Amino acid sequence: MSGLTLWTNKEISKLKRDIDGLYDRMCRDFGISQLMDSLREGPLVNITETKDSFVVKADLPDLDPEDLNVSVTDDLLIIKGEKREKISYKTDGIKHIGSFSSRVRLPSRVKIGNVRASYKEGVLEIVLPKYRASASLSVKILKK
């Protein structure tokens, strides 16, 4: 195994920056929007907690709510979306389609039947009411 070379985090970070730079230059050279790059990693998501619910806000500018999909399980929120962008040239337009999927692990279970979502001015807001377990019950132990 003497032929193996271990890379340090510094070397890996430099390689990533170099590859990102090449990609950015290629996008500029071919006139491709940086939108694809921003959608690749998903939207910026902010989670706040109130007494009764979690509120998730995702920055999704210039998207049509019809192109968004929100799904919830007990403690997992999934936001999926698709962005269509048409670039017009003198002869022809090119349509770019970018999609993303973000998974957000919630701090606790939520009432999935009561989740509400709204989209306004580029921000998707999802209100997820907290699941409250029923009150504890003391069980009497019978002696046999």
Q: The tokens of 46 are what?
A: 């902010």
CA distances from 83 to 33, 49, 68, 104 (A): 12, 29, 9, 20
Q: What residue type is 39 in one-letter code?
A: L
- Name the residue ranges covered by the structural domains of the chain: 41-129
50-70: pLDDT as tens digits: 999 999 999 988 888 998 999
Q: Quick one: pLDDT at residue 37?
A: 46
Residue 127: its H or E element = strand 123-129
Higher confidence at residue 9 or residue 57? 57
Asked if CATH classification 3.10.310.10 holds for the domain at 41-129, the reply, yes or no, is no
Specify the pTM.
0.60
pLDDT band for position 5 (cuts 50, 70, 90): confident
18-38: pLDDT as tens digits: 887 887 777 666 655 544 544
